[in-house]
Structure 1
Amino acid sequence: MASVRIREAEEGDCGDILRLIRELAEFEKLSNQVKISEEALRADGFGEHPFYHCLVAEILPAPAEPQGPFLVGYGLYYFIYSTWTGRNVYLEDIYVKLEYRGQGIGSKIIKKVAEVGLDKGCSQFRLAVLDWNQRAMDFYKALGAHDLTEAEGWHSFRFEEQAMRKLAGR
């Protein structure tokens, strides 16, 4: 019987993480928006000042099985700051391959992000969900998350690079 381990990603995982990012984008019907490369993931996630952190879900086969460990999910997160509450952790993506869902892997990733956030002094753990993904919304609510759009009317906005250039006068 194979077991699952949640661990911090290593540089050598970047190819598998990119593959999982592409699978998530396909699931979300946003494949055309993936612009990141394996090299960028490596440069931005590792080194002295990483822009992001990542947990991976790894299947550890039973000793008699010929294949080695392989990644079936990830949780990419980073730290943000709230002027009202201070340190926060933001889960940008969480993804578990379809055939491994329903086994508690997503819950394990979320619990580990919560642990990391608490260890770093965070008072909140934030994430966003597409409005059509009711299954994910129900899952997060069952774990204790509050829907801020529903409860407080918050809407999320984003400036794309061209708008940023215009704002910056470039």
Structure 2
Amino acid sequence: MDFNNIRIRKAVSNDMIYVAAMIKELAAFENLPDAPQIDHKKLIEDGFESKKPAFKCFVAECLSTNTLVGHAIYFPIYSSWEGRSMFLEDLFVKREYRNHHIGSNLIKAIAKEAFNENCIRIDLHLLSSESPARGFYKKLNAVNLTKNGEGSDWNYVRFRKEAIAKLAE
């Protein structure tokens, strides 16, 4: 596999059939295979055909095989205490493409957008059982806001303004 031939780009509506499949892969990875109730048509409708898209998406594309190997779904949120923010709903890289900086490059693409839009933070939820993912986000300077990072099925994780600026470089 050619890991140097990966391009991060904004998703287009035609990508949603592959993103929907990756959402199902992510759910299976999280041991929740029946959880996704969405299909590519709904993703297209909500993200590309709406006057106010409900989400934005970056994809990782392997140029040598013309296939999508990862995605990041995110959307703007607002903090009444701090102002503009973003929420990372999904970050997924296909198993055979992991550990080659694709996930961090997807995060960096979101961080650049967040930085350019003067966002103060990027928030996400992470299953407690995903200890490798917690290490991944910590390495990128995200802070786990969940008490001691344990004791809940979900962890609340945040990239603060300084981490966003560093990732956006």
Q: Tell me the SS of whatever aligns to 1:31.
A: coil
Distance in structure 1 (CA, Å) of the matches to 2:9 and 2:108: 12
Distance in structure 2 (CA, Å) of the matches to 1:72 and 1:152: 29
Distance in structure 1 (CA, Å) of the matches to 2:108 and 2:40: 26
**Distance 1:13-1:135 versus aligned 2 partners, 3 A rule:** same
Match of 1:56 among 54, 59, 63: 59
The normalised TM-score by structure 1 is 0.83
Whichever structure has more strand as a proportion of its residues is: 2
Per the alignment, residue 165 of structure 2 pairs with none
Give deviations 1:15-48, integer Å, cap 9, x for gaps: 0000100000000011111100111000000133
Larger Rg: 1
For the aligned residue pairs, the C-alpha RMSD in angstroms reads: 1.9
Distance in structure 2 (CA, Å) of the matches to 1:125 and 1:28: 22
Q: Which amino acid aligns with 2:81?
A: W
Distance in structure 2 (CA, Å) of the matches to 1:37 and 1:126: 25
The normalised TM-score by structure 2 is 0.84
Per the alignment, residue 92 of structure 1 pairs with 89
Q: Where does the alignment leave 5 or more consecutive residues of structure 1 unmatched?
A: 62-66, 157-170
**Distance 1:141-1:18 versus aligned 2 partners, 3 A rule:** same
Per the alignment, residue 149 of structure 1 pairs with 146
Distance in structure 1 (CA, Å) of the matches to 2:138 and 2:149: 15
Per the alignment, residue 15 of structure 2 pairs with 13
Distance in structure 2 (CA, Å) of the matches to 1:129 and 1:43: 26
**Distance 1:86-1:152 versus aligned 2 partners, 3 A rule:** farther
Distance in structure 2 (CA, Å) of the matches to 1:108 and 1:58: 12
**Distance 1:96-1:152 versus aligned 2 partners, 3 A rule:** closer
Q: Tell me the SS of whatever aligns to 1:128.
A: strand
Give deviations 1:47-102, integer Å, cap 9, x for gaps: 331000000000011xxxxx4x1100000000100011000011000000000001
Runs of 4+ displaced beyond 4 Å: none
Per the alignment, residue 42 of structure 1 pairs with 44
Per the alignment, residue 163 of structure 1 pairs with none
